[in-house]
């Protein structure tokens, strides 16, 4: 009973906050808006954390809505509660960070309302037990993502990026909806557990369609190959939004989807291989793109896609635990990196890496926390990224072919290289800023920013200590259903496993080599894009996959433009359309009945 209340609070509180902010205070008092947003986000985070101990693989909240849609169920098992906690806690920190970052912005009410709506929807996505409801929450997150990317809606780039993100993630949404309807048609219900239990009773063709359809849905949502180009364009959003939606939570929904349905789809021939290849290509290609990008946030966006590739790869290799553990680590350190980048951008007013440099002295706190995040991203021992990345690589070696593993290893080396480059270009070397956005104006983070950064930095240093309870959580949500289901892993076991594995040594050597190479040629890093001209051109064009995305976006817009003819705004004609449609539907039905 208490946990059902907690579920309702986790989802409902942010939504209530969104209502209060958009209808209650509006833009009358900025202070009230900040305070309300923090209040609702933090209480929702606390509710989600309170759910953690009671996570159980059972339906605890069931809202009957009649026979057509099935019951709306909420099923907070370990996997779901974990993702909901990440969403609400990182969400709270992003909201706290926003107090400083968004101070004095216009239309703050719209901003906070959308962020809170997103937090609630993300928690709902993680906690629900119904595929239909999963789809609805999935779409709400996509809508919030779109609206927040285009938050500065007088900037055409922001609007274009938002539209692109919306259309690309809709592909995923449509796939999910079709999947839900297929499940309903064949199994008579929308429950996720129903699909997982009875997946083997489905005809093989149908299961194939479902499995690959969901893979496409996940790839579109998580910006994986070949849809990886919407995420960098989404970087026009305010930075806390990038940290929350496009690094820590929404893009993880795809990985979550794959992990959630892994037991159902793993037996489909070729599916795990396809998942691994999608992960590998995303990880490798975007790592190269990150190497030559000159926009601070775009580098981080590429890096996000790359790290999501590692998670997808781990799911394909059969280790949901490694994938979700890397998801946790990544959510923490990437949110930290984004917020750090946000603090830098806020201070100097540009995102161009070539105009930064030598900022470390003016902003020591930002520098320190950013470097902690960067080290975690690279996978330096003791930080959380090290443990989870090693687990991913180990799982890949044992569960997948060696050549993919080697490619992923190269990806790890590239990660080290581009991370070093970013840190060097921002915080070290000679100041390169011109007068307008010069480093001379730079100042260190203010209070709210400091708080969020320090909490996340401490998280990046320590979350790996939680592996014991964490693995318990994940294991509990996959009963005996999955063949290679995650097992509980205590801290000492994990340390022993990671340290003794030969893969760790090799990975560390690759990373060390990459950093060494970067240090050796550190002065040439800035011009790396120019030196590797052909690669750079290919990379900025996403190796030609940009045109797939562009074609989809343009095609959709063209269809939409064509359909505008039908929206005359003349009521009588619209009613004519409705009556005509009714006749057509009835005629089709009549043909069916008469036969």
Partner 1 sequence: MTFIVGVLALAAVVCAAMALRAGKALVSALWLAGTSALVAFMLYLMGAHEIAVVELSVGAGLVTILFVFAISVAGDEALDVRTVIPRPLAIGLVIAAGLLLGWFTVAQPMAGLIQPIAAPVAAPLADVLWNQRGLDVLVQIVLIFGGVLGVIGLLADSAEKPDVKGPEAGVRDQTAEEVQL
Partner 2 sequence: MTWTPLTLVLIGVICLLGVGFYGLLISRNLIKIIVALQILGKAALIAFVMAGNVNGQTGQGQALAMTIIVADTIVAVVGLALAVQVRRRFGTMDIKALSNLKG
Secondary structure element (H or E) that encloses residue 402, with its range: helix 402-427
d(CA 575, CA 90) in angstroms, rounded, equals: 47
d(CA 272, CA 193) in angstroms, rounded, equals: 20
Alpha-carbon distances of 341 from 92, 218, 353, 447, rounded to whole Å: 18, 27, 11, 16
Could you say whether residue 571 binds partner 2 (CB under 8 A)? yes
Exactly one of 480, 563, 570, 591 binds partner 2 (CB under 8 A); that residue is 570
Q: Which residue stretch of 95-103, 439-447, 486-494, 573-581 sits at the interface with partner 2 (rule: CB under 8 A)?
A: 573-581
Could you say whether residue 593 binds partner 1 (CB under 8 A)? yes
* Angle subtended at Cα 113 by Cα 247 and Cα 173, rounded to the nearest 5 degrees: 55
Exactly one of 58, 63, 496, 513 binds partner 1 (CB under 8 A); that residue is 63
Number of residues that bind partner 2 (CB under 8 A): 8
Closer to partner 1 at the Cβ: 58 or 583?
583
Closer to partner 2 at the Cβ: 499 or 583?
583
Binding mask 535-574 for partner 1 (x = CB under 8 A): -----------------------------------x-xx-
Closest CB 27 distance from partner 2, rounded Å: 24
Q: Which of 422, 210, 391, 383 is nearest to 300 (CA)?
A: 422
Phi, psi of 275 (to 5 degrees): -60, -45
By a kind-dependent CB cut-off of 5 to 8 A, residue 569 interacts, out of partner 1, partner 2, none, with: partner 2
Strand partners, 61: 74
- 3-class DSSP assignment, residue 400: coil
Exactly one of 349, 583, 591, 595 binds partner 1 (CB under 8 A); that residue is 583
Could you say whether residue 1 binds partner 2 (CB under 8 A)? no
Strand partners, 389: none
Could you say whether residue 185 binds partner 2 (CB under 8 A)? no
Strand partners, 382: none
Secondary structure element (H or E) that encloses residue 255, with its range: helix 252-265
Q: Which of 344, 163, 396 is nearest to 239 (CA)?
A: 344
Q: Which residue stretch of 5-13, 289-297, 455-463, 574-582 sits at the interface with partner 2 (rule: CB under 8 A)?
A: 574-582
Closer to partner 1 at the Cβ: 188 or 580?
580
By a kind-dependent CB cut-off of 5 to 8 A, residue 568 interacts, out of partner 2, partner 1, none, with: partner 2
Closest CB 583 distance from partner 2, rounded Å: 11
d(CA 170, CA 173) in angstroms, rounded, equals: 5
Could you say whether residue 576 binds partner 2 (CB under 8 A)? yes
Closest CB 136 distance from partner 1, rounded Å: 16
d(CA 314, CA 276) in angstroms, rounded, equals: 7
Cα torsion 478, 479, 481, 483: sign: positive
- 3-class DSSP assignment, residue 583: helix
Could you say whether residue 569 binds partner 2 (CB under 8 A)? yes
* Angle subtended at Cα 535 by Cα 529 and Cα 538, rounded to the nearest 5 degrees: 110
By a kind-dependent CB cut-off of 5 to 8 A, residue 560 interacts, out of partner 1, partner 2, none, with: none
Could you say whether residue 577 binds partner 1 (CB under 8 A)? no
* Residue ranges that bind partner 1, judged by CB under 8 A: 63-65, 570, 572-573, 576, 579-580, 582-583, 586-587, 589-590, 593
Site of interaction with partner 2 (CB under 8 A) = 568-572, 575-576, 579
């Amino acid at each position: 009973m208490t946990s059902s209340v907690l579920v309702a609070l986790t989802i409902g509180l942010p939504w209530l906050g969104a209502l209060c902010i958009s209808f209650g205070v509006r833009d009358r008092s900025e202070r009230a808006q900040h305070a309300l947003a923090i209040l609702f986000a933090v209480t929702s985070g606390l509710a989600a954390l309170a759910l953690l101990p009671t996570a159980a693989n059972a339906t605890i909240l069931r809202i009957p809505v009649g026979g057509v849609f099935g019951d709306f169920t909420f099923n907070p098992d370990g996997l779901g509660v974990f993702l909901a906690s990440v969403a609400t806690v990182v969400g709270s920190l992003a909201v706290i960070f926003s107090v400083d970052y968004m101070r004095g912005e216009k239309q703050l009410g719209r901003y906070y309302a959308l962020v809170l709506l997103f937090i609630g929807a993300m928690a709902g996505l993680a906690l629900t037990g119904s595929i239909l409801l999963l789809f609805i929450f999935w779409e709400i997150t996509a809508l919030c993502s779109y609206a927040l990317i285009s938050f500065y809606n007088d900037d055409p780039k922001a609007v274009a990026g938002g539209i692109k993100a919306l259309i690309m993630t809709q592909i995923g949404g449509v796939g999910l909806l079709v999947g839900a309807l297929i499940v309903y048609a064949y199994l008579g219900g929308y429950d996720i557990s129903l699909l997982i239990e009875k997946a083997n009773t489905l005809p093989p063709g149908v299961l194939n369609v479902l499995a690959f359809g969901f893979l496409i849905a996940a790839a579109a949502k998580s910006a994986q190959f070949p849809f990886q180009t919407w995420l960098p364009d989404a970087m026009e959003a305010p930075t806390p939004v990038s940290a929350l939606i496009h690094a820590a939570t929404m893009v993880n929904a795809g990985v979550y989807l794959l992990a959630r349905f892994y037991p159902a789809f793993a037996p489909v021939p070729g599916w795990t291989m396809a998942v691994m290849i999608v992960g590998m290509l995303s990880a490798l290609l975007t790592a190269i793109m990150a190497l030559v990008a000159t926009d601070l946030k775009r580098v981080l966006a590429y890096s996000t896609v790359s790290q999501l590739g590692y998670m997808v790869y781990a799911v394909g290799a059969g280790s949901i635990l490694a994938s979700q553990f890397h998801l946790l680590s990544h959510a923490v350190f990437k949110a930290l990196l984004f917020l750090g980048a946000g603090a830098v951008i806020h201070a100097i007013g540009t995102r161009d890496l070539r105009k930064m440099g030598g900022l470390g002295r003016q902003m020591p706190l930002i520098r320190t926390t950013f470097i902690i995040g960067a080290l975690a991203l690279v996978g330096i021992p003791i930080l959380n990224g090290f443990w989870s990345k090693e687990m991913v690589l180990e799982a890949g070696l044992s569960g997948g072919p060696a050549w993919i593993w080697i490619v992923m290893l190269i990806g790890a080396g590239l990660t080290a290289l581009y991370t070093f480059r970013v840190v060097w270009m921002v915080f070290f070397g000679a100041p390169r800023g011109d007068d307008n956005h010069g480093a001379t104006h730079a100042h260190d983070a203010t209070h709210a920013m400091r708080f969020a950064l320090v909490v996340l930095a401490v998280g990046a240093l320590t979350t790996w200590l939680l592996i014991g309870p964490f693995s318990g959580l994940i294991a509990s949500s996959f009963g005996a259903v999955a063949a290679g289901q995650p097992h509980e892993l205590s801290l000492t076991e994990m340390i022993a496993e990671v340290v003794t594995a030969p893969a760790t040594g090799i990975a560390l050597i690759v990373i060390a080599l990459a950093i060494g190479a970067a240090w050796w040629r550190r002065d040439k890093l800035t011009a790396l894009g120019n030196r590797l001209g052909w690669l750079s051109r290919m990379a900025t064009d996403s190796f030609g996959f940009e045109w797939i995305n562009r074609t989809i976006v343009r095609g959709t817009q063209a269809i939409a433009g064509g359909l505008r003819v039908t929206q005359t705004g003349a009521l009588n004609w619209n009613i004519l359309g409705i009556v005509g449609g009714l006749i057509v539907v009835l005629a089709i039905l009549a043909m069916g009945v008469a036969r």
